[in-house]
Chains A and B, each alone.
Chain A
Amino acid sequence: MSTHTTQSAHDEAQTTDILRLEDVTKQFGNVTAVDNLSFSVSEREILGFIGPNGAGKSTTFDCVSGTMAPTDGEIYYRGENVTGVPQHALVEKGIARTYQTFRPLNDRTVLENIALSQMPNSLFSFADFRADTEQRAREICEQVGLGDVVDQTPDELPHAGMLRLEIGRALGTDPDLLLVDEPFAGLTSDEIDRTADLFTSLREGGMTLVVIDHNMHGLLDLVDRVIVISFGEKIAEGTPAEIRDDPTVQEAYLGGEI
């Protein structure tokens, strides 16, 4: 394969893919959490990213979001190689994430938590952000369903509220690509529906989403496509229906529910 064809393949990919992983590997000592993983995400897609416990889903998010650099392989965002770029720089480019274990700031209100996402990443900024910042933070609270509890502290929120806070803070960065780590765990089916509706509306606004889950329950009606990983490796890829009937996937879940 000549470099020329590689280059044109990249150019082509650039027009449709917002994100592409090429042979991404992440090792912790001699544990290989992510093993030669390659996949891409199309613009305005909602991609499901599933796998059993410890499969390497969160670690994949860590690598893509810049939380930690992969041991090997490349990550392209809109055609640009962003492997190892620090998280704050990737957020500026448009990649945001939520954490599986929520990261609330317990020393401040919900509104102030969201307002953090509006603060400038510069040491000296003399513009008066206060009014604008607060207005925008309130809008985000409304958008994610925290409008009534802006003055509460995170520890007063129920689990679903904490999830909304996590999503709201990510939305505050105006992302083009949103990585959501296991949003549906611990939610009632009613809350799952509402959260899925939020994701759908975000996609209608032009956003691309990758949503992690253990299984297909919350994802069936939401996602366009699913990628399944097990022990860090991709074992299947397809529509939700295809994945459910895939024997390899069933085996990976050891007959448990997919």
Chain B
Amino acid sequence: MTQVDLEPRYVVGIVCFIGLISAPFLLPILTLRQLTAALFLGMFAMSWDYVSGYTGQLSFGHSMFFGIGGYTAAVLNLELGLTPVLAILVGTIAAGIAGLAVGFPALRLEGPYLALITLIAPLVLVQIVNIFPGTLGGDAGLPSPAGLVSVDEPIGILSTIGFETVFVHETIVYYYLALALFLAIYALFYVFTRSYVGSIFTAIHEDEDAVRSVGINAAKFKVFAFTMSGTVGGLAGAAFVHTAGEPNPGEILSIVVSIEVVLVSILGGMGTITGPAAAGIVYYFVRDALQTSSLTIPVLDATVGHISMALFFAIALLVLFFLPKGALPWVTEWSRDILERRSQRSESPS
């Protein structure tokens, strides 16, 4: 064969990229709004994967970073009138500092102890939010802060290509902002994890002694991973409240968010970045489909929507059981097998 073969994963990547870019032309506007939120779940999952999937420092409380980023930005904008960009910047830095602050004690804690500490941190934050319902909104959350870009009147180009109403235009603008951030974060993590830094991260996961014995300061890399993960998680949280979402505990701070991020990453494939990014998007829609389904289950006499979370976690358990390494590594292996078999067949003369 003389034709140039593009590796299948690049083909899939390009198709997904084109799909995401053209989503506003393909999807109903409400679905596009959901996709915007789904992109943020992908970003949250990537930030978890960067530290936990790669270095093996398990965090069960990553929502602390999304929450610190999101709430800091929202309060600065609502209370002090900071511009959204500045508020997001400060929120990001605050989350980065939180990452640093978790990274240091994490050096002395292993496995379940680290998991427990990280699990407790966002619980404390949720309590703090409840203690100051005035400034932090309590259980119900804060009102949306100013949009990152204010879309007050129709945008010329969008109107000419057939999109009507300000609401639609705003949705499209926020979608592209979220997509740009998603792609930027993906690229950033991709570059780091595919460089020697990622190789050191996974080596730390395998055997820290081996890493130290070749003259690498494992502690420095571990703290760095937590700090960068916290920073990016905070950035995503802050951008989220200024675009697709609202600063309320259920979206960015509660323990359920932390657990979902872990689940998404494991389902997608820990230590791959791509897996958690994609799984975050799929997860969002599957969860939503189950939640809104009015299909009645005969024996139980309940709708799927009623028992959606139970169903959902049951499905997740099944996937984990049959694909313990997650979806992406499984798909990769499977497609490699097929390709190998095909090339063997084309090599053999019969």
Contacts and interface: CB of A to CB of B under 8 A. Distances in A.
Partners in one complex: yes
A67 B215 contact: no
Contact of B210 (A89, A104, A123): A104
Interface stretch (B113-121, B192-200, B251-259): B192-200
Contacts of A65: 213
Interface stretch (A24-32, A37-45, A165-173, A232-240): A165-173
A6 interface: no
A67 B202 contact: no
Nearest to B210: A103
Interface string B209-242: 1111111111011001000000000000000000
Interface string A59-75: 00000010100000000
B203 interface: yes
A97 B214 CA distance: 9
A107 B214 contact: no
Given A88-B215, A107-B202, A116 B210 contact: yes
B196 A99 contact: no
Contact of A123 (B205, B211, B214, B224): B224
A172 B214 contact: yes
Contacts of B205: 107
**Size range of the interface on B?**
20 to 34
A2 B205 CA distance: 51
Contacts of B202: 105, 107-108
Nearest to A124: B197
A107 B53 CA distance: 14
Contacts of A170: 213-214
Contact of A88 (B196, B207, B218, B224): B218
Interface residues of A, number: 33
Interface string A140-177: 00000000000000000000000000000110110000
Nearest to A119: B196
B215 A107 contact: no
A88 B212 contact: yes
B86 to A, nearest CB: 26
Interface in B44-94: none
Nearest to B220: A123
A112 B215 contact: no
A116 B204 CA distance: 11
B200 A91 contact: no
A88 B203 contact: no
B164 interface: no
Interface of B: 196-197, 199-200, 202-203, 205-207, 209-218, 220-221, 224
Closest A-B pairs by Cβ, 6 of them: A91-B215, A103-B210, A117-B214, A105-B206, A88-B217, A119-B196
Given A107-B206, A121-B215, A169-B214, 12 more contacts: A65-B213, A86-B217, A88-B212, A91-B213, A108-B199, A112-B199, A116-B203, A116-B210, A125-B196, A133-B196, A170-B214, A173-B215
9 contacts: A65-B213, A91-B213, A105-B207, A105-B210, A116-B200, A120-B196, A121-B215, A129-B196, A170-B213
